[in-house]
């Protein structure tokens, strides 16, 4: 219809490839569906035979019983085969959904983080949950039943042709007109289908944003931009759907009216033939019955072809995610035996428009050393940390661990040697205990609690309704930012990786806990390569080396004393830090 022909063929194959080898069963369900529909025709033939015998005056009781039983049997076959067909096709369809969802999850895991962040949570959720779910009903019903309903009119037509070729041709009288209107409908709705999906996706991502930002929206009132965007996307969707329906309404109704109008030709022509004596009354009855079952199937084809298109657009939507490039992993990896981190001339650009963010970073963090990264906000500190964890690949230069380029390691192996605690730490909707245990799935309960104690979590965890068994989802609202961070630190401690990166990991912790936390971090990271990004300079003054990062460049590096002696930027940062501390302390005294 429009240049999508090839793609249309491919998408379906792609879809079935996710059925994990059960794709062949779909064809079995098609066969059962066809048997089912064709057995549905058998009773018509039997009625015709009985009518024939009745007119000839030869219909006796035995015949009636025999034929009725045969009709009943045919009906049973129809029902049973239909059941088998849908049973199989649902099995296949749910396998396809599972395969697709796992694949998308896998793509996200292997993709550079930037590719994942490029999509809103609303969009991702809408694709993985809703869109993929949308594939199930059409896949399970359209394929087997659709195929059957395409076959049935053909079988009916052949049967009609056997009865009388003139009647058969008459059944197609209104078909061309119907087809023209149907094509027209497709053309009109096809153009808008993509727009419909877009409006729908925009609406669902707006809804997620709205709910996630509800606190801010409440604080600033409905006048906020977010509310307008939210309401706007809903109105937009409504307007669009109404427009779309209007645009296809007339042609669709006409297509529906003409397409299946087989009786329009069959009835007058067969009456004519009966009058002329070239057709029996029972043949006429059979023709009418066949023509009527053609109608039913043709009407179904309309519905199913819409389902097929819906499925195609959904698949193409999902395909956008499947096509996200993954980080390149080596065939055979090399593993570091030593954990010095070495960044050489690292350049990095998030996106071309924004421009380069890191302009040639040379930084060596010897094994077992404590390096601190400080500098103004937006200077690139978090970017450096994320590049070491390979959330993205560098755009220039290299990052090596123990002399091995991190791109020569498998993503999973790198994750095993690097512990990364960030500002916003995610807790999964399972128990607090399990959340900590993510750091090391083999850890015993005692080890989990020991890590929690070391991370200053034990006290507040025990105060939760079910202690360590409280679900983080339930506790989520009650935990403060600092408490979440400490759970993430406990997780990190349990993981016991040779490289530890803390990106403002204690930023939300109150001063009392912070000193304790600092001590236990220092104890537990002894001998590890430690990189700490901190705003509160007092927490990193013992670092072996403090690196000042400003505007994507290393401005200076040295110990606390060295930097105090020579770096104006570092001095200014200290002044600001001390000032803030005094201010906080002053507030406390007043309170």
Which of the stretches 79-87, 138-146, 349-357, 493-501 binds ligand ADP when contact is defined by CB under 6 A? Answer: 349-357
| Residue 379 within binding range of ligand ADP, rule CB under 6 A | yes
**Long-range CB contact pairs, 442-445, < 8 A, 24+:** 443/494
Between CA 576 and CA 217 the distance in angstroms is: 32
Closest separation between CB of residue 133 and ligand ADP, Å?
30
Please give the Cα distance from 77 to 235 (Å, whole number): 49
With CB under 6 A as the contact rule, which of the stretches 59-67, 320-328, 339-347, 373-381 interacts with ligand ADP? 373-381
Which does residue 248 touch among ligand ADP, Mg ion, none (CB within 5 to 8 A, set by kind)? none
The least CB distance from residue 348 to Mg ion, in Å, is 14
Subset of 392-421 contacting ligand ADP (CB under 6 A): none
- Concatenating the DSSP letter of every residue in 567-582 gives -HHHHHHHHHHHHHHH
Contact of residue 378 among Mg ion, ligand ADP, none (CB under 5-8 Å per partner type): ligand ADP
Phi, psi angle pair for 587, to nearest 5°: -60, -40
189 binds, among ligand ADP, Mg ion, none (CB under 5 to 8 A by kind): none
Which of ligand ADP, Mg ion, none sits in contact with 117, Cβ below 5 to 8 A by type? Answer: ligand ADP
The answer to whether the beta carbons of residues 100 and 20 sit under 8 Å apart is no
For residue 324, with 0-12 CB atoms within 10 Å meaning exposed, 13-18 middle and 19 or more buried, which class applies?
A: middle
Stretch that binds Mg ion, among 226-234, 297-305, 381-389, 412-420 (CB under 5 A): 381-389
Decide whether 86 or 382 has the Cβ nearer to Mg ion: 382
* Coil vs helix vs strand at 425: coil
Which stretch in 197-205, 379-387, 448-456, 581-589 sits in contact with Mg ion by CB under 5 A?
A: 379-387
Strand order in the sheet with 545-550: 418-421, 499-503, 529-533, 370-374, 545-550, 553-558
Position with the least CB separation from Mg ion: 382
3-class DSSP assignment, residue 548: strand
Q: Which of residues 131, 149, 309, 381 is near ligand ADP by CB under 6 A?
A: 381
Does 357 participate in binding ligand ADP (rule CB under 6 A)?
yes
380 touches ligand ADP by CB under 6 A: yes
Site string for Mg ion, 529-568 (x = CB under 5 A): ----------------------------------------
- 422 in Cβ contact with 501 (< 8 Å): no
Stretch that binds ligand ADP, among 244-252, 264-272, 335-343, 374-382 (CB under 6 A): 374-382
Partner from ligand ADP, Mg ion, none binding residue 383, C-beta < 5-8 Å depending on class:
ligand ADP
- Taking CB under 5 A as the binding criterion, the range among 38-46, 157-165, 376-384, 542-550 that sits at the site for Mg ion is 376-384
107-126 mask for ligand ADP (x: CB under 6 A)? ----------x---------
Q: Does 382 bind ligand ADP (CB under 6 A)?
A: yes
Question: What is the closest distance, in whole angstroms, from the C-beta atom of residue 253 to ligand ADP in the complex?
Answer: 50
Long-range contacts of 541-546 (CB under 8 A, 24+ apart): 542/370, 543/370, 543/371, 543/372, 544/369, 544/370, 544/371, 545/365, 545/369, 545/370, 545/371, 545/372, 546/371, 546/372, 546/374, 546/570
Give the span between the Cα atoms of 196 and 131, in whole angstroms.
13
**Strands 499-503 and 418-421, bridge-based pairing:** parallel
Q: Which residue, 178 or 482, is less far from Mg ion as judged by CB? A: 482
Q: Contact 103/322 with Cβ under 8 angstroms?
A: yes
Judged by CB under 6 A, the residue of 275, 377, 442, 587 near ligand ADP is 377
* Cα–Cα distance for residue pair 320/315, rounded to 1 Å: 9
587 binds, among ligand ADP, Mg ion, none (CB under 5 to 8 A by kind): none
Q: Are 453 and 523 in contact (CB under 8 A)?
A: no
Paired strand residues for 554 = 549
**In angstroms, rounded to a whole number, what is the distance separating the alpha carbons of residues 426 and 488?**
8
Assign 463 to helix, strand or coil. Answer: coil
Question: What distance in Å separates the CA atoms of residue 406 and residue 341, rounded to the nearest whole number?
Answer: 10
Q: Quick one: 382 or 431, whose CB is closer to Mg ion?
A: 382
- Out of 169, 350, 415, 535, which residue is the one contacting ligand ADP (CB under 6 A)? 350
Q: From ligand ADP, Mg ion, none, which one binds at residue 312 (CB under 5 to 8 Å depending on kind)?
A: none
Beta carbon of residue 547, minimum distance to ligand ADP (angstroms, whole number)? 12
Q: Counting contacts by CB under 6 A, is residue 383 touching ligand ADP?
A: yes
Considering beta carbons, is residue 189 or 382 the nearer one to Mg ion?
A: 382
Q: Which of Mg ion, ligand ADP, none sits in contact with 380, Cβ below 5 to 8 A by type?
A: ligand ADP
> Cα–Cα–Cα angle for 551, 555, 556, nearest 5°?
150
Exposed/middle/buried for residue 77 (C-beta within 10 Å: 0-12, 13-18, 19+): middle
Contacts of 120 (CB under 8 A, 6+ apart): 205, 208, 209
Name which position in 29, 95, 204, 382 contacts Mg ion (CB under 5 A).
Answer: 382
Q: Nearer to Mg ion by C-beta: 382 or 513? A: 382
What minimum distance in Å lies between the beta carbon of 381 and ligand ADP?
A: 3
Q: Please, where are the H alpha helices in 56-174?
A: 61-110, 113-117, 121-125, 132-137, 147-163, 165-171
- Point out which span in 134-142, 163-171, 255-263, 380-388 binds ligand ADP (CB under 6 A): 380-388
- Contacting residues toward Mg ion, per CB under 5 A: 382
- Contacting residues toward ligand ADP, per CB under 6 A: 117, 350, 354, 357, 377-383
């Amino acid at each position: 219809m429009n240049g999508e022909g090839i793609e249309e063929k491919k998408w379906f194959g792609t879809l079935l490839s996710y059925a994990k080898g059960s794709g062949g069963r779909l064809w079995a369900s098609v066969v059962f569906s066809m048997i089912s529909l064709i057995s549905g025709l058998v009773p018509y033939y039997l009625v015709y035979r009985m009518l024939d015998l009745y007119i000839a005056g030869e219909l006796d009781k035995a015949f009636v019983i025999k034929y009725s039983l045969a009709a009943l049997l045919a009906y049973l076959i129809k029902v049973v085969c239909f059941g088998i067909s849908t049973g199989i096709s649902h099995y296949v369809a749910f396998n396809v959904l599972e395969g697709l969802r796992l694949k998308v999850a896998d793509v996200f895991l292997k993709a550079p983080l930037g590719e994942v962040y490029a999509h809103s949570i609303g969009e991702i959720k809408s694709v993985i949950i809703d869109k993929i779910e949308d594939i199930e009903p059409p896949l399970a019903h359209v394929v087997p039943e659709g195929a059957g309903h395409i076959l049935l009119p053909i079988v009916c037509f052949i049967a009609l042709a056997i009865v009388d070729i003139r009647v058969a041709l008459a059944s197609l009288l209104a078909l061309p007109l119907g087809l023209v209107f149907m094509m027209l409908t497709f053309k009109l709705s096809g153009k808008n289908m993509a727009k419909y999906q877009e409006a729908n996706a925009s609406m669902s991502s707006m809804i997620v944003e709205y709910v996630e930002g509800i606190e801010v929206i409440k604080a600033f009132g409905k006048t906020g931009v977010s509310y307008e965007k939210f309401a706007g996307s809903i109105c937009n969707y409504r307007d669009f759907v109404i427009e779309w329906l209007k645009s296809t309404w007339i042609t669709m109704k006409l297509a529906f009216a003409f397409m299946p109008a087989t009786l329009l030709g069959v009835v007058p022509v067969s009456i004519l033939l009966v009058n002329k004596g070239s057709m029996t009354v029972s043949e006429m009855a059979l023709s009418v019955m066949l023509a009527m079952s053609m109608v039913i199937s043709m009407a179904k084809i309309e519905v199913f072809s819409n389902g097929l298109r819906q499925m195609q657009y959904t698949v193409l939507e999902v395909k956008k995610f499947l096509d996200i490039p993954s980080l390149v992993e080596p065939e055979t990896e090399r593993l570091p035996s030593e954990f010095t981190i070495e960044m050489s001339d690292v350049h990095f650009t998030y996106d071309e428009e924004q421009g380069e963010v890191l302009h040639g970073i040379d930084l060596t963090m010897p094994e077992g050393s404590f390096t601190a990264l400080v500098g103004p906000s937006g200077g690139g500190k978090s970017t450096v940390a994320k590049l070491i964890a390979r959330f993205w690949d560098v755009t220039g230069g290299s990052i090596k661990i123990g002399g091995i380029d991190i791109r020569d390691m498998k993503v999973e192996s790198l994750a095993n040697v690097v512990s990364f605690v960030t500002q916003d730490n995610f807790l999964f909707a399972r128990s607090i205990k399990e959340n900590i245990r993510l750091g090391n799935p083999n850890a015993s309960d005692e080890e989990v609690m020991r890590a929690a104690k070391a991370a200053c979590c034990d006290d507040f965890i025990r105060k939760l309704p079910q202690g360590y068994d409280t679900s983080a989802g339930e506790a989520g609202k009650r935990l403060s930012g600092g408490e979440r961070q400490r759970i993430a630190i406990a997780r990190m401690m349990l993981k016991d990786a040779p490289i530890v990166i803390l990106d403002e990991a204690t930023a939300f912790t109150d001063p009392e806990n912070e000193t304790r936390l600092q001590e236990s971090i220092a104890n537990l990271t002894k001998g590890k390569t430690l990189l700490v990004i901190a705003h509160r300079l007092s927490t990193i003054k013992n670092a072996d080396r403090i690196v000042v990062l400003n505007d994507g460049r290393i401005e200076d590096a040295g110990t606390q004393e060295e930097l105090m002696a020579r770096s104006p930027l570092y001095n200014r940062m200290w002044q600001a830090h001390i000032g803030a501390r005094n201010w906080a302390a002053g507030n406390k005294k007043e309170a």
